[in-house]
């Protein structure tokens, strides 16, 4: 099985630098530890200042925790029925961060890490934009003419940056014509699109958070000579 390392890939010249990890003073969320699982769900202080958005994340946190607790409990029962099957407590961490706080908008990115007893945790990403004027959540892609228009505008530099990262980590050039799905150029709009700002007045940066199984393996086993 190929080893895949989660990696955030950003557009050259359009890089969105997110805040450092770790809950800040005034942030919200929960951390729950049981015999079956460890569950953490965090959001920044900026969300605490927007009651409707906070309510939205509280509901999401509760739903995610219920589903995760049920899955972890079922996994423990299955392990108990098989004496040779270990049960490591499951872990799920969800963290929202501020990507941009503008007078009319609040842009957030989400990182998720889940461990269910496999070889390594799995990682995922998400994003949202909160319209302060209407009090409504907007998917970032709603702020573009269309997903296709976004892809047409940034796909070439995005895929060039992705291939450079792939090549550096794999130790070999990437051939998009190889027929391997993990060498192909992917659609930026199919990943988590994060809107950022350099002046805190308008959105003028775009970040793309690429899921591990979309980027392909970031490590390749060395080639061995056949035995003689």
Tell me the pLDDT of the chain (228 aa) as tens digits: 333 333 333 333 333 333 333 445 568 999 999 999 999 999 999 999 999 999 999 999 999 999 999 999 999 999 999 888 889 999 999 999 999 999 999 999 999 999 987 767 889 999 999 999 999 999 999 999 999 999 999 999 999 999 998 888 888 899 998 988 888 889 999 999 999 999 999 999 999 998 887 766 654 444 333 332
* pLDDT at residue 27, rounded to an integer: 84
For residue 152, the SS3 value is helix
Find the DSSP H helices in the chain.
45-48, 51-80, 147-170, 212-215
* pLDDT at residue 118, rounded to an integer: 72
* pLDDT at residue 17, rounded to an integer: 33
Task: Give the predicted TM-score (pTM) of the model.
Answer: 0.80
* pLDDT at residue 183, rounded to an integer: 87
Superfamily of domain 28-213: Fervidobacterium nodosum Rt17-B1 like (3.30.565.40)
Enumerate residues 6+ apart whose C-beta is below 8 A from 84.
none
- Is 23 within 8 Å of 46 (Cβ atoms)? no
Residue whose structure tokens are 């989660």: 6
* pLDDT at residue 180, rounded to an integer: 87
List the helix and strand counts (H, then E) for the chain. 4, 8
* pLDDT at residue 198, rounded to an integer: 96
For residue 102, the SS3 value is coil
* pLDDT at residue 25, rounded to an integer: 57
User: 198 vs 16, 127, 168, CA distance in Å?
Assistant: 9, 18, 29
Return the closest-CA partner of residue 95 out of 116, 112, 70.
Answer: 112
């Amino acid at each position: 099985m190929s080893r895949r390392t989660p990696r955030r890939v950003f557009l050259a010249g359009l890089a969105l630098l997110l805040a450092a990890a770790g809950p800040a003073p005034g942030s919200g969320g929960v951390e729950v530890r049981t015999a079956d699982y460890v569950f953490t769900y965090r959001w920044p202080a900026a969300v605490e200042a927007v009651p409707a958005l906070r309510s939205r994340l509280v509901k999401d946190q509760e739903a995610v925790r219920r589903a995760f607790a049920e899955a972890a409990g079922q996994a423990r029962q299955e392990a108990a029925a098989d004496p040779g099957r270990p049960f490591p407590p499951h872990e799920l961490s969800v963290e929202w961060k501020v990507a941009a706080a503008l007078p009319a908008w609040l842009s957030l990115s989400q990182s998720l890490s889940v461990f269910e007893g496999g070889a390594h945790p799995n990682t995922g990403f998400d994003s949202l934009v909160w319209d302060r004027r209407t009090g409504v959540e907007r998917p970032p892609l709603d702020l573009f003419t269309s997903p296709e228009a976004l892809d047409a505008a940034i796909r070439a530099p995005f895929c060039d940056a992705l291939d450079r990262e792939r090549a550096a980590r794999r130790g070999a050039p990437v051939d998009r014509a190889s027929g391997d799905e993990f060498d192909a150029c992917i659609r930026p709009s199919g990943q988590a699109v994060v809107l950022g700002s350099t002046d805190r007045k308008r959105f003028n940066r775009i970040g793309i958070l690429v899921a591990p199984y979309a980027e392909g393996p970031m490590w390749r086993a060395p080639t061995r000579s056949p035995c003689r």
